[in-house]
Amino acid sequence: MTTVTETAPLAVINDSADSQEHWNNWPNAKGFDPEYEERTPVELAVTGKIPAYAAGTLYRTGPGKSQVETEEGQTFQISHWFDGFSQTHRFQIIDSGETEPTRVLYNSRFATDELIEYIRKTGSVARLAFGQKRDPCKSVFNKVQSEFEPPSGPSGSNIGVTLSVNMPGLDVQPDAESSERWGTAKGIRTLYAKTDYNKFKKLDPETLEPIGLASQESLHPELTGPLAASHARSDPKTGDMFNFNLELGKTCTYRVFGVSASTGKTTILATFPGTPAYLHSLLITEDYVLLCVWNSHVNPLALKDGSFMDSILPTDPSQPATWYVVDRKNGNGLVATYESPAFFCFHTINSWQEPSKEDPTKIDIVADLVRMDSTEFLSSLYYDNLISSRSSAKEFAGKRGDVLRSTVTRFRLPALPSSPSSDIRKATLEWSACKSFSPELPTMNPAFVTEKHRYVYATTFRGEATLTDGIMKFDCETQETRLWAQHGHSPGEAIFVANPEGVSEDDGVLLSVVLDGLAGNSYLLCLDARNLTELGRAHVKGVVGFGFHGQHVPTIGLPTGDY
């Protein structure tokens, strides 16, 4: 593997001579409607070698099934990938000692049995969904629906975008005399699935069975708004967790809050009015929470009918994105507001503080994220556009262009005021890179959260497939990119696991669940994070559905949290 730049020929690790074939020879349908489930852990065959320091538990979550056969003999089809019925996966990576290879056990569980049964009987999802189009069976089942109450238990709620291990603020806290912080305590005590709606689903950490429901209101009585970020942020040193709550109304209100990992207490750090928007993630620095209201603005009135997608307004390039800087340590609330040119984002990467370029006596905030020009990418995630065997996907592929591509982008918020200010300041876009790779699902070494980092890892959307088609490593200093890819193999988010004896930021491995579309099964891939060479695979005896996000809880090394 050689290092490549944006303009150089791609360097690809590839076992197939057919790597340049068009994406329609990249079968992926099984990844969008998997039937495979292992409720009891099974041992996976491992080829190559997974380093012992990667030992721990890797959780993955995301959509599983997307179709239900109804009692009336019709097929109910979920429209949008974000609405697929959630499934949770657990890989136990076991260090067997110096003389034995690392072992991997796998179990999984579909997490929406009650909801699927309701749809089987009624032909309706009953509740607001992200992108569900008009129910095709609705006219048939109008009468039937009135006979059944929508499911209200844990397995009746479709929550499965991100996962939190030992989430602070929920459940019983450790003893007051304990030196362990709840959010960073060793051992997996609790597991919660989250989404962009204000609700959490509690899962059994071993069996993955849905066992409870909670919400942000469980953390604080004022957090009653319906919207939040799937990606909360945790301080890597303290384990404290940060997020926002958005209350919709005539005046829409953001509440930015923090949850102490040591006490479980939730504090509302700032409350302010703002344009409502679909915000999947946020950022923290050592001293601040950074909430950017980018240009996925929402019309609250449109939420009464249709799907959440119907409420998201087209991106207006004349409307700036607004960045809110909230003090998270000293009780100063909202300290500064910045504006930048319009953009859309799913996933932030990292932010940190450094001496200001304008005035060294002040502080700049630097923020890295994956940037798109508009929200049009959301439409590419309808199943009709994702499943490569469908004619609609082929038609949509012909329309794909730069408008759907993303970049790794760096913003700078210069000269943070020394005291709270109502002035609107200007954020600057410093650089954008990797457009030919169209990165998404970014990750990094979690030890560098709130510190200046050098490396970003992401899946690629280069156009070889309808979804992901590789894993990349981007060097923010040199702007060089490395790539792992194999024809017909679709990787999920790459989770970084640090080598506890490593001396460099990229000393570790990447763990990704990959669908081999040609063979029709999945495997856990382990790559050397320094050069993306393959170290090993753990082969699953079925298909792991294309998921969203995961969480690795190491046997040794960094604490758990939301990164």
pLDDT of residue 39: 97
Detail the DSSP E strand segments found in 80-143.
Answer: 86-94, 103-110
pLDDT of residue 398: 64
Most confident of 149-158, 279-288, 294-303, 554-563: 279-288
Tokens 């030890």: give the residue: 447
Main-chain phi, psi angles of 534, to 5 degrees: -80, 130
Strand pairing of 86-94 and 321-327?
A: unpaired
Q: In this prediction, what percent of the chain has a pLDDT beyond 70?
A: 89
How many other CB atoms sit within 10 Å of the CB of residue 197? 20
Distance CA 412, CA 422 (A): 19
Here the tokens at position 460 are 């690629």
Q: Give mean pLDDT, residues 289-302.
A: 96
Distance CA 242, CA 284 (A): 8
Q: How many helices (H) and strands (E) does the chain have?
A: 5, 35
Kindly report the three-state secondary structure assignment for every residue of 345-358: CCCEEEEEEEECCC
* pLDDT surpasses 60 at 247: yes
Q: Please give the annotated binding residues for Fe cation, written as ranges.
A: 231, 280, 347, 549
- Its sign, for the CA torsion 449, 450, 456, 461, is positive
Distance CA 278, CA 130 (A): 11
Report yes or no on whether pTM surpasses 0.85: yes
- Sheet arrangement for strand 470-475: 4-5, 480-484, 470-475, 455-460, 439-443
Here the tokens at position 237 are 């040193």
Q: Give mean pLDDT, residues 145-163.
A: 84
More reliable by pLDDT, 401 or 377? 377
Q: Give mean pLDDT, residues 270-289.
A: 98
Here the tokens at position 160 are 């499965």
Tell me: the pLDDT tens digits for 510-550? 999 999 999 999 999 999 999 999 999 999 999 999 999 99
Cα–Cα nearest to 484, from 447, 458, 448, 451: 458
User: Looking at residue 389, what DSSP letter applies?
Assistant: T
* pLDDT surpasses 90 at 42: yes
* pLDDT surpasses 90 at 142: no
* pLDDT surpasses 80 at 461: yes
Confidence of residue 21 (pLDDT cuts 50, 70, 90): very low
Q: Label residue 493 exposed, middle or buried (CB < 10 Å: 0-12, 13-18, 19+).
A: buried
* pLDDT surpasses 70 at 6: no
Confidence of residue 332 (pLDDT cuts 50, 70, 90): very high
Distance CA 315, CA 102 (A): 48
More reliable by pLDDT, 368 or 126? 368
Tell me: the pLDDT tens digits for 408-444? 999 999 999 989 999 999 999 999 999 999 999 999 9
Q: Please give the annotated binding residues, written as ranges.
A: 231, 280, 347, 549
Considering all CA atoms of the chain, what is the largest pairwise distance in Å, rounded to the nearest integer? 71
pLDDT of residue 15: 42
Q: In this prediction, what percent of the chain has a pLDDT beyond 90?
A: 78
pLDDT of residue 174: 53
* pLDDT surpasses 50 at 7: no
DSSP per residue, 431-486: EEE-TTT-EEEEE--GGGTTS---EEEEEE--SSSSS--EEEEEETTT-EEEEE--
pLDDT of residue 24: 52
The domain segmentation of the chain, as residue ranges, is 4-554
Main-chain phi, psi angles of 308, to 5 degrees: -60, -35
Distance CA 184, CA 165 (A): 9
Q: Give mean pLDDT, residues 447-451.
A: 97
Q: Any idea what the Cα angle at residue 62 is, between residues 57 and 67, rounded to 5°?
A: 135
* pLDDT surpasses 90 at 336: yes
Spell out the residues 6+ positions from residue 321 whose beta carbon is closer than 8 angstroms to its own.
292, 293, 294, 295, 339, 340, 341, 342, 343
pLDDT of residue 172: 63
How many other CB atoms sit within 10 Å of the CB of residue 194? 26
